[in-house]
Chain A
């Protein structure tokens, strides 16, 4: 009898524990990205204190055009993937311009900035896996279509600071959007809100 119980325990231990689903992992990743983007903005405000009580105007840097008025969740994920690629383009551009302007540094802000870039790339791979079909192949490379005119128009180092501030807020927005959209997908696919 005791041997049977022991055998059952061993069997139970050997059974793989189901981990978070693919959509669950994507939601968790998006939430982590949102947290890190928020922290990155906080670190940036610590560097440029004048931004603490300033709310930039000018609206969103990125805008998405939906083909249909009521897109499906999968279509929304596709759009999200596109937006995230542009976000990756923006953070790439921020890194390049800041390093050119101020030189390469190894402070907390720079470390978190790198973290966000890597997390964003990771999330892009996740959304690619979730939204890619046999008919539609998705890219995970940065999309630079939105940054050139913005930065060129801003002017000077002060313009770069203001633009960086807008980009960081844009990242927070899209990371939050990603978490919500992927959570909807997760609910649809997994039938549960639990991650």
Chain B
């Protein structure tokens, strides 16, 4: 035995190693036996959510390895260790996995093993979720179908080609997508950050290869609902009408549209209205909006009495009178009878709207005051609750009515008297509103208070004047008669409107005639208060050229006023108007003041008629007055030109004379006035033999001086106009027998009577220039443009430096004031230095004796002989020009020197 022990020592080592390995093996075997291999693995797939629910029996283990593979290609889709606790009820473990691709795309293999640290159990048996790419399902398919996703989401689609076919591509909106092969027949693609779909969704297309077959899927990309502004109100004081805004477009329609429920009651939906009606007023409401992408809730609370919005008034009617009307309506709900209401009545007439507000319990009628008779009206009514105002109800439908007629308004009466004791009583036609019904006629009565006699005539509705013949009343003892006008319609007579007519015209003209200047708002007129005026004033106006039965306009002014601005649509440019102020009292209207003015001054439409006669070596030029209607503005003076056939040369500018004469007076060098403006318009030209003057070509012309100079546009600087001045040959021999082209359209007319009119002859003898001696005639009427003869005493003194500024347009000036000569014929210095500077105002009623020292000399004809001109000669001008300018300068030098004693 000792042998055994001694000999066995080396042999004991392998035995020890064996037991050690056995022990380790036993320990390991024990550990594996503790980890339960998962059993009864079951799969539950939700295709729409792509979620796979995996459950198994896993014993006490809490950690498992899960492996999911695409069955065909044995590609791992998911392999992770997960912690899963056992469900105490079922005793099973469950874990959910969501696939990126639709679960139909291809078959998936799932296996599980338990894990404890680094120790794992065996894998469970593999469970397979069958895809739609099995050979038994050989159709051409695409997944997912009709998916609804939010805007911006990514969606993975797969296309399973038909068995035996070759995959082509996947497209979206003609874009070929990148694909990944999932199985033999299945291909997947992902669409990223999707935009909202159209109504019929976004198409994802799959083609085979070659392109013979097509399949596809539609994805609906949109938003969850987001309604707003839930509001409930009542119309009948019982039920609730709740409305809300749909909010943003969800891009989901049809079966995917948003459904609404209010307090858990489904709201019937129409295409446009978002409204839900509840039979009873709940006070608290919850609106739930839901679509496939989600739901949204809104709440609203309110008391019924705070949310009353009445219906629109129904069956609106009216009871009309002349000056007011009663508007009535009905309510749809009887509950309004006890409801305090406030109502707005909108009244429309002739394009104007007025709103009246009324209130009352159960209001059903209102009276509308301040209406006009015989007028069409339209009325609409809306109401709200008077207490706890919420909103106005809808307007009723418009209701139309017409007020009844009434007696007319008294017409506005005035008169016009001619100088032969005839005249007219005139009245303004009544407007529709003043007529208050169809006017049937006018009754005019002439009545003499002293004689107590009256004469009445009837006139048709379209009449606005009744003739007067004062000779019929010649035997009357009084000094006036009263004309009364009454308008009539079917309702009766208007109040009488009267005007007193003087039986004996005194023919007194006003002391002054002022000039009225038109402004943007009309002619502003001012006057001193007349203490005798008890009933105000009348301002009348008419065209100054009219003398007989003139179409006169007028305006009545209250006694407290001493100014008025006259405006009329009838004012025409280039027409002179007379404005007359009459005071109103118990006697006949008395003329207080008179103005004249132009709305806009234009260049004269006619030239003067010029004639010349030779007196020894002088030529006497005579021209007539321009008819008033052709003046078209206030005449400022006349220019006399001499024409040699091809051009015009200025002989005299009456305005130069004016200015220089004034200067001469101021310097006291002139004691004797050398020319006279008087009633005759004549100019004596003293002709000196001068060989170089081609008498066969020269003519004399007189041109009224216009306002163009104001704008610095010298006549001589202007090109030739189509108008020519009247031309006379040298020595008064008319040589041009051809029809003279008028400077203005009707300038060829010559008035013989104007030549016979009062005029001033001015004769300048001995005036010598290098080319000629000139004799001029100055006429104060020419300066102040002779108006009515009786106003001659107010003829202006043009040297007074007053400031009248003509109302003319630049264009008219430049167009109409061009001289006949194609070349400048006026010396620039004459044009600028001697040119006429328009005056800012010119009151030609200013007393001549006060404003002008020359007035006495202007009062009678004066002859002036002159031999020297004071105006300097301009050397820098051309010879011809110098000659022309020196003509005027020399003339005036001679003029002044001739006055020396």
Q: Are B203 and A50 interface neighbours, CB within 8 A?
A: yes
- Residue in A48, A100, A158 whose Cβ sees the most chain B Cβ within 10 Å: A158
Name the contact of B200 in the complex, choosing from A99, A102, A155 (C-beta under 8 A).
A102
In the complex, whether B195 has a CB less than 8 A from a CB of chain A is no
Q: A158: which B residues are within 8 A, CB to CB?
A: 142, 145-146, 203, 215-218
In the complex, whether B201 has a CB less than 8 A from a CB of chain A is yes
The 4 closest A-B pairs by CB, nearest first: A156-B145, A157-B218, A103-B254, A103-B253
Q: Given the known inter-chain contacts A156-B146, A157-B146, A161-B200, please indicate yes or no for A103 contacting B218, CB distance below 8 A.
A: no
Q: B145: which A residues are within 8 A, CB to CB?
A: 155-159
In the complex, whether A101 has a CB less than 8 A from a CB of chain B is yes
Q: Are A103 and B257 interface neighbours, CB within 8 A?
A: yes
Q: Are A102 and B254 interface neighbours, CB within 8 A?
A: yes
- Identify the closest chain A residue to B172 (Cβ): A50
In the complex, whether A60 has a CB less than 8 A from a CB of chain B is no
In the complex, whether A47 has a CB less than 8 A from a CB of chain B is yes
Which applies to chain A's interface (DSSP): helix, strand, loop or mixed? helix
- Residue in B200, B205, B215, B257 whose Cβ sees the most chain A Cβ within 10 Å: B200
A155 to B213: give the CA distance in the assembly, Å: 16
Q: B142: which A residues are within 8 A, CB to CB?
A: 158
Q: Are B201 and A157 interface neighbours, CB within 8 A?
A: yes
As a 0/1 sequence over residues 721 to 748 of chain B, the CB contacts with chain A under 8 angstroms (1 = contact) are 0000000000000000000000000000
In the complex, whether B214 has a CB less than 8 A from a CB of chain A is yes
A154 to B257: give the CA distance in the assembly, Å: 23
Q: A57: which B residues are within 8 A, CB to CB?
A: 213
In the complex, whether B690 has a CB less than 8 A from a CB of chain A is no
Name the contact of B255 in the complex, choosing from A100, A155, A159, A162 (C-beta under 8 A).
A100
> How far apart are B198's CB and chain A's nearest CB, in angstroms?
9
> How far apart are B133's CB and chain A's nearest CB, in angstroms?
16
As a 0/1 sequence over residues 250 to 263 of chain B, the CB contacts with chain A under 8 angstroms (1 = contact) are 00011101000000
Q: Are A156 and B214 interface neighbours, CB within 8 A?
A: no
As a 0/1 sequence over residues 357 to 369 of chain B, the CB contacts with chain A under 8 angstroms (1 = contact) are 0000000000000
Q: B201: which A residues are within 8 A, CB to CB?
A: 157
Q: B216: which A residues are within 8 A, CB to CB?
A: 50, 158
Q: Given the known inter-chain contacts A155-B145, A158-B216, please indicate yes or no for A101 contacting B203, CB distance below 8 A.
A: no
As a 0/1 sequence over residues 127 to 156 of chain B, the CB contacts with chain A under 8 angstroms (1 = contact) are 000000000000000100110000000000
A57 to B165: give the CA distance in the assembly, Å: 16
Q: A105: which B residues are within 8 A, CB to CB?
A: 199
Pick 10 A–B contacts, CB within 8 A, sort by A.
A57-B213, A99-B254, A100-B255, A103-B253, A156-B145, A157-B218, A158-B145, A158-B216, A161-B218, A162-B214
Q: Which B202-219 residues have C-beta < 8 A from chain A? A: 203, 205, 213-218
- Identify the closest chain A residue to B220 (Cβ): A157
In the complex, whether A152 has a CB less than 8 A from a CB of chain B is no
Q: A161: which B residues are within 8 A, CB to CB?
A: 200, 203, 218
A102 to B255: give the CA distance in the assembly, Å: 7
A155 to B215: give the CA distance in the assembly, Å: 11
- Identify the closest chain B residue to A107 (Cβ): B199
Name the contact of A101 in the complex, choosing from B205, B215, B254 (C-beta under 8 A).
B254
As a 0/1 sequence over residues 101 to 112 of chain A, the CB contacts with chain B under 8 angstroms (1 = contact) are 111110000000
Q: B253: which A residues are within 8 A, CB to CB?
A: 102-103
In the complex, whether B521 has a CB less than 8 A from a CB of chain A is no
In the complex, whether B11 has a CB less than 8 A from a CB of chain A is no
Q: B254: which A residues are within 8 A, CB to CB?
A: 99-103
- Identify the closest chain A residue to B203 (Cβ): A50
In the complex, whether A136 has a CB less than 8 A from a CB of chain B is no
Q: Are B218 and A54 interface neighbours, CB within 8 A?
A: no
Q: A162: which B residues are within 8 A, CB to CB?
A: 214
